[in-house]
Amino acid sequence: MLNIQNYSASPRAGVVAERPQTTSASDRIEITATPSTTEHRGADIISLSQAATKAQQAQQTLRSTLPVSEENNDERTLARQQLTSSLNALAKSGVSLSAEQTEGLRSAFSAPALALFSTAPMAQPRATISDAEIWDMVSQNISAIGDNYLGVYENVVAVYTDFYQAFSDILSKMGGWLSPGKDGNTVKLNVDALKSEIRSLVNKYNQVTKNTILFPSQTGSGVTTATRAEAEQWIKELNLPDSCLKASGSGYVVLVDTGPLNKMITDLNGIGSGSALEMDNAKYQAWQSGFKAQEENLKTTLQTLTQKYSNANSLYDNLVKVLSSTISSSLETAKSFLQG
């Protein structure tokens, strides 16, 4: 969490050069070569203009289509990385901030919802903190929140959407597995085919692979894991059952909740087996009611996760808005100085 207290700006340091001694130790001339204020402002304008552009690009990706594809996620991740790089440039240049701007940044990054996902580079509050340090902390926090908060939700929604689409593909085959019985009062169901498809989907999403892990987000080669505490934190955040926690190597991951599918398999086992199991209407409707209840559970979970992602997206978007406003204000100040 960004922690800025009792702000006061630090001046830019000059460069001190000494002329070699010629006759005595006291015969020394100190020359201070400080870049002109105009040069400083010109460099600030370049850094601020680049940061403003990257902030706008990040906002555009935040307002685009939901990240349901790897390509979409990559585009959003790249925009966040570029924004972080531009903020790092502002930290190096030490672009000046007013007390009001500093307080605005501190307030934005102190939101309780971000406490678990941001960094805290200032362990102890200090009476004085430079503009460069403020920009550096903002850069670190916007990067951490993007990767550890919004980035996780992007991955969660993408993985769960793929899972639900695979389940929907099974539902689309139901018409071919159902047929009327011999007297019109019964229904035939290919229990074996339906059960096999559902079991295959469960087996796929019970495996630890890059395409089945909700948390942590997967990048590069190999499977990335987290600590047990981190994984349990995200299970709670996503409102998933403890069964979604799975050990992998020396770490842990969070997988999709296949509980509703397992209940479907149990219910299918309960009605019998075969490629044309015949049931009276009452038995079929009882089974269908339970099946649809689990289908609804899957749909509700996807809707809940999508809403949580939307909330995370809005929160991050608000942070970028504050940054964009601060950058634009600083840019106008720098331009007006040169024009004046």
Nearest-5° Cα angle at 85, 230 to 253: 20
What SS3 string covers 127-172? Answer: CCECHHHHHHHHHHHHHHHHHHHHHHHHHHHHHHHHHHHHHHHHHC
- The percent of residues in the chain predicted with pLDDT above 70, rounded, is 78
pLDDT digits (tens, 9 = 90+) for 17-60: 343 444 444 444 444 444 555 555 567 778 888 888 888 888 78
Mean pLDDT for the stretch of residues 233-250 = 96
* 277-280 β-sheet, strand order: 178-180, 186-189, 277-280
The reported pLDDT for the residue numbered 32 is: 44
In the Cβ-directed half-sphere of 331, how many Cα atoms lie within 13 Å? 16
Residue 116, pLDDT above cutoff 80 = no
The whole-number pLDDT of residue 15 equals 38
State both tokens at 7.
Answer: 């702000």
State pLDDT tens for residues 262-312. 999 999 999 999 999 999 999 999 999 999 999 999 999 999 999 999 998
Nearby residues of 133 by Cβ (< 8 Å), 6 or more positions away: 91
Q: For residues 108-118, b (16+ Cβ closer than 10 Å) or e, as one string?
A: bbeeeebeebb
Give yes or no for a contact between 208 and 246, defined as CB atoms under 8 angstroms apart. yes
Give the residue with greater pLDDT, 161 vs 2: 161
Which sequence spans correspond to the domains of the chain?
35-153+314-335, 158-311
Separation of alpha carbons 112 and 156, rounded Å: 22
Residue 186 is predicted with a pLDDT of: 95
d(CA 54, CA 62): 12
Instruction: Using CA atoms of 206, 257, 163, 230 in order, give the dihedral in degrees to the nearest 10.
Output: -80
Collect all residues with Cβ–Cβ distance below 8 Å to 119 and sequence separation of at least 6.
1, 137, 140, 141, 144
Do domains 35-153+314-335 and 158-311 share one topology? The answer is yes
Cα 118 to chain centroid, rounded = 12
Quick check: pTM over 0.95? no
CATH of 35-153+314-335, one of 1.20.1710.10, 2.60.120.620, 1.10.10.10, 3.90.650.10: 1.20.1710.10
Residue 280 forms beta bridges with which residues? 186
Lowest mean pLDDT among 30-34, 163-167, 217-221: 30-34
For range 218-225, the mean pLDDT: 89
Q: Specify whether the CB–CB gap between 205 and 255 falls below 8 A.
A: yes
pLDDT digits (tens, 9 = 90+) for 181-198: 888 889 999 999 999 999
Q: Say which residue, 163 or 122, is predicted with more confidence.
A: 163
The CA-atom distances, in angstroms, between 258 and each of 198, 240, 262, 298 are 10, 10, 6, 9
Topology (CATH level 3) of domain 158-311? IpaD-like (1.20.1710)
The three-state secondary structure class of 121 is coil
